Every structure is written in structure tokens, then in C-alpha cells.
Structure 1
């Protein structure tokens, strides 16, 4: 499967700022082509690439005051091989985090899913979150975590993923968040899904069912949205003036939900 992805961001910096972008396809994917350009009134700027956990590629630079345009594109011709499982990850991804308050949701998880395991558990959690939430663009705040989402009963992809992760961790199942490019997604945007560790591997859990799991292309992986944001800025106010995301596949697979799927 060939997948083509791109993003254009237009920013306005009110003062020089430390910028970190997480928009590049994660390390390990087979790429036929890739381009990353950053331009301002002073010309093109160079970002320094840093490699984070699970092959997350961060691009960092000090941006000058004024408007800035970021263009990224890539063509992936294959899937990366699954990374070796880290025992420390399996410990860390069972702990509560900023947006996935599994300690608060422990009683809910135990009451709803006690005694269920493996793929049956992933199916049950997916169905529960899907039935309890409504997908409403713009309905949540960037500070909302899984508890706020469950109480509001609405949200967007990251809210769905946070609730899935929190419920799974409440059952002692390692779970994490991944930001992805998602061919088939409508409306097109960055997408967020959960990953759960069962049957000795990480498997995708997407309670929104908005794009085929087999078409997803990993960008970043972490505890929650705090570790997977497409842009982090420090030292100055930065306005996002516009954002355009595109992700297409030459053949869009039909997602067979009776099967487990890996994000690789």
C-alpha cells in the first residue's frame, strides 16, 4: 500500500519562540520521498531533528517574530517492522497520566469490564466508548482528559483515545496514544488512536472508526496528547493561522474489525 501525506501550517509568532514540530512520519517507515521546509520573511529556516521514543521524530528551531509557513510531505511505500517491546514501557503505560486518569476511572473500568481479557476486552472497551460518546468537532478543550470526556459524553478523536487508554490502564492493560496520518479520514485532519498491549504485541484501538486501521501511518507515540502534540511552543505567543492535512492511500483497505490490527 502506498500512502501519501502532507501538512501545511501557517503560524504567526509575536516574539521569537522555541518551536517543536511533531508532524514527520515516525522513524522506520519505508519512505519513497520526503520533504520538510520552513519559511519566513527572512527566507528558509533549518530545524534540528531529534529522535524520541518509539521513533518519534521531532523538529526543533527558534522561530523569528512574524509569519512562518511549514510544509511537510512524504510518500510511504511500506510499513515499518514492529519495534522490540520494552519492559519499562509495559510498566509506564499502565500508570495514570495527565490526560488518562486511570486511577480515577479504575472503579468504572472494573465494574464494566471485570473478567474480560484479550481481544474480547478491546472489542468491549471500543463498543462502550463508541456508545457513550458522540463525535462533536470543537466540543472539547485542550485541557480535557478522559474523566472530563466521559462526563461530557462527547469529544473528538484524541478524547476517544484518552478514554480508551484510561479504561484499559484501569484494568492493568498497558495502553498508549499514537498520533497518525489517516487515509480515509473525513473531515481530514491529524488523527489520534489508542494502542493496547495484548497477546504479546501492540494493537490499534480506534473507537471513532473514522478510518481503516490498516491505512494509518504513525507520527508520534506517548502517554497521551501531552507527548504527541503536532506543535509545542515556548517563550512567546504563537497563533495557528491555518492548517491543511492530507493523507491518501492508493488502495484504501476495508477494515475487518473481527481481526486485531497493528500500527507499524
Structure 2
């Protein structure tokens, strides 16, 4: 399978700022790519550093004014399955900022009592998919799984946060992954969950908006706090335009009753 993606961002910095960008595919992918960051007609230099699980972060110093960011990538074949360490299991069992599994433990136990393994994964995916409504703009960037459960609506990251919280409440390690998603509609950056089951990380997407088999990993972490595509320090930075594309030469048919791994 050949997959390609692009991202175009137009930013406005209100002063000198330090940007942290996370839009490039993870380091273990076999990719041909190009990243250009331009301000006032000058291409800016950036420093790249690696976060956990191959997440690549670009660090950029900018001045006040408009910044244009363009990224294109083509991925051929599959990347290696991520290694699993003891600290991964510990980290992804704990509650986190947006996945308050401790607060949702009673709800998770009441709804999914007695279920384990694949049956638990299927039940949580189906419950979240059927009890939430996908409503762009309905949630705040600060909303976590508890507020999502109360509001019963949100976007992909909200679905993923609730899935993760329910899984952790049942002692299943779970984490958030930002991805490029061929077949996604409406097209944007996408967020899914990964659950550690049967000795591997399995993709869980309660939105059902894109085939899991064609997803391209960008960033991996406890929740959206670890996977933001843009953050800044020093001055406010406005996001004026965001355009994302993702396509595959062959779009898989996703059987939601089967396990799938993000490769």
C-alpha cells in the first residue's frame, strides 16, 4: 500500500515565539517527505527532536508575523511494530489529564462488567460509537473524558479519550495516537486509541470514520497533551488556515469485528 498526506498551516505570531510542531510521520515509517517553514519569504531553520515511540517534534523560533508551513509525505509499505516496554504498560494504565479513568471507574465497571480481551474492546468501541454524536466544534480543547461522557458529543479526540479512560479502568493499557487518515471525512488530523491486547497495540477508532489499516502514525502519548500538532511559548500564535489531505492507492475495507494494528 502506498499512502500520501499533506498539511498546510498559516499562522500569525503576535510576537517572538517558540513553536513546537508535530505533523511529520513517526520516525519508524519508510517515508519520502518535505517540510518547509517560511516567514516573510525566508525559509526558517528548525531543530528536530524525538519524543517517545518515534514522535518527531520540530522546534522553530519565529518573529511576529505570518508563518506558512507545508508538509508532504509518501509512505510505501508498512513500518515496524512499536516495541513494548514495562514502563509503557505502567504509564498507559494510569489516569492522565484528559483520560480520567479513576473518575470513570464506576461507570466503566457498571457498563462492561465481566468482559475481558477482545469482547471488552468491541463492547467499549460500540458503546462509545453509539452513545456519542460526532459534532465538530462542540467540545473545547480542555475537555476530557468526563466532560465528553456528560456532553455525549465531540470529535475524534473526545471519542478516543473516552475509549482510553474506559479501557484503563478495566486494567487495559491504552494510549492516544494522532494520525493521517486516508478515507477520513471531513478530512483533518485524526486521533485514535491504541489498546495493549494479545501482546500488541491494537487500533481502536470508535468514530468509524476511516479504515484503521491505512492510518499513518504521527504522535503517540497518554492523551492529547502529548500529541498536539502545534504548541507555542513566548507569544500568542493564531492558526488561521489548516488544510490536511491523506490518500491511499488502495483504501482497505475495515472489518470492525477484527483486530487491526497501526503500521
Report the counterpart of residue 27 of structure 2 in structure 1: 27
Report the counterpart of residue 16 of structure 2 in structure 1: 16
Tell me if 1:100 matches 2:99: yes
**Structure 1 position 113, deviation (Å):** 1.1
Structure 2 unaligned runs (5+)?
Answer: none
Distance in 2 (alpha carbons) for counterparts of 1:172 and 1:81 = 26
- RMSD (Å) for aligned C-alpha atoms: 0.7
- Listed one character per residue, the Cα deviations across residues 22-46 of structure 1 (whole Å, up to 9, x for unaligned) are 0000011111x20000000050001
Distance in 2 (alpha carbons) for counterparts of 1:141 and 1:78 = 36
What secondary structure sits across from 2:245 in the alignment?
A: strand
**Structure 1 position 220, deviation (Å):** 0.1
List 4+ stretches of structure 1 deviating above 3 A.
Answer: none
- Listed one character per residue, the Cα deviations across residues 104-163 of structure 1 (whole Å, up to 9, x for unaligned) are 000011111121111111100001101110000100000000000000000000000000
TM-score (norm 2): 0.99
**Structure 1 position 101, deviation (Å):** 0.3
TM-score (norm 1): 0.99
- Listed one character per residue, the Cα deviations across residues 67-99 of structure 1 (whole Å, up to 9, x for unaligned) are 000000100001111122111010110000000
**Structure 1 position 171, deviation (Å):** 0.7
Tell me if 1:187 matches 2:186: yes
Structure 1 unaligned runs (5+)?
Answer: none
Report the counterpart of residue 89 of structure 1 in structure 2: 88
Tell me if 1:206 matches 2:205: yes
Distance in 2 (alpha carbons) for counterparts of 1:178 and 1:226 = 11
